[in-house]
Amino acid sequence: MSGSGCRRRGSDFLAVFWVVVCGASLLSSVFEDNPSLCGFAAPQFMPVAETFVRNFREHGEVGACVSVVYRGQTVVDLWMGHQNPAKTLAWQADTLLPVFSNTKVATAMCLHKLVDEGKVELDAPVATYWPEFAANGKGDIRVASLLNHSAGLPAVRRRVRNAGFRDWDFMTKALAAETPFWEPGSTNGYHMISFGWLVGEVVRRVSGMSLGAYFDQHFRQPTAAEFYIGLPRSAYPLFAPVSLATPNLATMLSRAFLRKIMFDKTSMQFLSLVNSGRFTPNKPIYWPAHIGGAGGIGNARGLAALLRPLAENDGSLLSPAAVERLRRPSMETKRDLNLLIPTRFSLGAMLRMDNGRNARGGRSLLIPEGAFGHTGIGGSVSFADPDQRIAFGYAMTRLGNGFFVNERGQGLIERGG
């Protein structure tokens, strides 16, 4: 374990643990041949390290991290590469970066805790907790529909003003005034970013706390997860920007989706992705914002730490009933009305989706059956598997194809999950 970014508070104990318990096997050829590879991997999870390194050699990885927790213990904690495309800044152990829609599970966890406490009912109308939401025919939309992407509100038709995404009141008022794009509850269409304000406003109305503050108190602090909905200023120096592998989005999106955003500015696809008030996650003005649909900032270790109690299903964060809600299919379709590909959702998480096993196209999420989690656009991914007691996180700065995982993340999942 070497390199300028290899030291981290608390990592030495774990590294020594594996050396003592497992002997020289920790210092396998994968570490010896790659001095910039930092962290550790238990021997039975060494294929994860090998695949992680291969991503740099064969798939253009620039900087990334991966973490696996098995039966409550961290068995993989690796990082490698650089924070920037110019490769002038080494990746550090505590580097943080945007993980996009991985944030949705964290947001959903907040609402499920309120359900556990008897403060929210999933079958109740959203307007029970958020009266203004009833406008324009939305009075019967159930809370559950916010979680499984069937509420019919994947975007707002109103033009989002410049930097509107960092204005919670602006976005929630716009959504409360919106008319559904389809009959709520009848089918699903991915609520790409609106998910966070819809679910988060119910959390705010019921708890009296902002989404980020509620998450921090009830989930981030108890798990010590390096993951934030609203990055504190003290963590700004740890931020690493994301970048596109190519200069445009054409290689990231399906042809059908791309046609919609190019030729129909009234489509939910265009409004979901483009009507963003010039949202750019790399801009510091957005880092403290509570964008619960896609604005979380963290790293692989933080994602795995957050999901560890759910993989253990130990009741420390959420009840077993809540974990079951997160892993049980709630809405499946052969053609998601927004993404225009098949999708499967629980009440707040993505489930296994095998859309032709097209890893290069970024259209599948091949996690184990019974597991639940999420992907972030470009390929970051996290999940909890209560059956195998595995929590997994992967994040990287170079975005790849598609909204789901690509060959880099999928290879790690297959060897670590």
* CA distances, 180 to each of 46, 122, 378 (Å): 48, 19, 28
Q: Is residue 411 part of a domain?
A: no
* Domain shared by 62 and 139, yes or no: no
> Which of 60, 90, 120 marks a domain boundary?
90
Q: Is residue 258, in this structure, part of any structural domain at all?
A: yes
pLDDT category of residue 265 using cuts at 50, 70 and 90: very high
Average pLDDT (162-190) is 98
What pLDDT score does 55 carry?
97
State yes or no: pLDDT of 301 exceeds 80. yes
In a domain, 84, yes or no: yes
Q: Is 106 helix (H, G, I), strand (E, B) or coil?
A: helix
The closest of 65, 19, 64, 66 to 43, measured between CA atoms, is: 19
Q: Which domain holds residue 130?
A: 98-406
Q: Does the structure show a pLDDT above 60 at 11?
A: no
The answer to whether the CB of 391 falls within 8 A of the CB of 341 is no
In a domain, 5, yes or no: no
Contact between residue 291 and residue 195 where contact means Cβ atoms under 8 Å apart: no
417, part of any domain: no
pLDDT at 360: 45
Q: Provide the pLDDT for residue 21.
A: 40
Q: Are residues 125 and 249 in the same domain?
A: yes
CATH number at residue 236: 3.40.710.10
Mean pLDDT along residues 255-265: 91
Q: Is the pLDDT of residue 25 over 90?
A: no
Q: What is the pLDDT of residue 255?
A: 80
Out of 43, 68, 90, pick the residue that ends a domain.
90
- Domain for residue 102, yes or no? yes
Q: Do 20 and 136 belong together in one domain?
A: no
Tokens of 105: 């599970």
Average pLDDT across the chain, whole number = 91
pTM over cut 0.85: yes
Based on the structure, what is the number of domains in the chain?
2
What pLDDT is recorded for position 191?
99
Do 152 and 83 reside in the same domain of the chain? no
Q: Both 225 and 298 in a single domain?
A: yes
